Amino acid sequence: MGISAIENSGVYPAPAVQKAAPAPPPAEESRIVPKERAFDRYEPEDSAEITICDTGKVDRELENLRKERDQLEEQLRSAAPEQAEDIRRQLDQLNRELSQKDNDSYRRQHAVFS
């Protein structure tokens, strides 16, 4: 006896679908978030802390460098040619220092917080 084509086709009758019963509600103990959370108990402090950023020291340093630069420029105008080379070298060094220090990041790094 042979197997018929319908029996060999691999198609099987669907099993009886059982009606799914609704899942019971989760128990109160299995809550993920506790009833009372930490931020519910938070009470802010009465006194507020104030922070002051002071860049006065940096400003004074830059102002002194600018005054020194102005003095070197005056000396360069009235200097003899032999001294002019030395004054130009000092002036170039001072200008490089000013360009490095006269920016916001330098002010933030050297500010005094209190």
pLDDT digits (tens, 9 = 90+) for 13-67: 666 655 666 666 666 555 566 566 656 666 666 667 788 888 899 999 999 999 9
Yes or no: say if 31 and 94 are a contact pair by the CB < 8 Å rule.
Answer: no
pLDDT score at 44: 64
Three-state secondary-structure class, residue 113: strand
Q: What is the pLDDT of residue 49?
A: 78
Q: Is residue 30 within a helix (H) or strand (E), and if so which, with residue range?
A: none
Q: Hey, how many other C-beta atoms are within 10 angstroms of the C-beta on 72?
A: 19
**pTM for the whole thing?**
0.54
Separation in Å, CA 94 to CA 52, 64, 80: 31, 11, 20
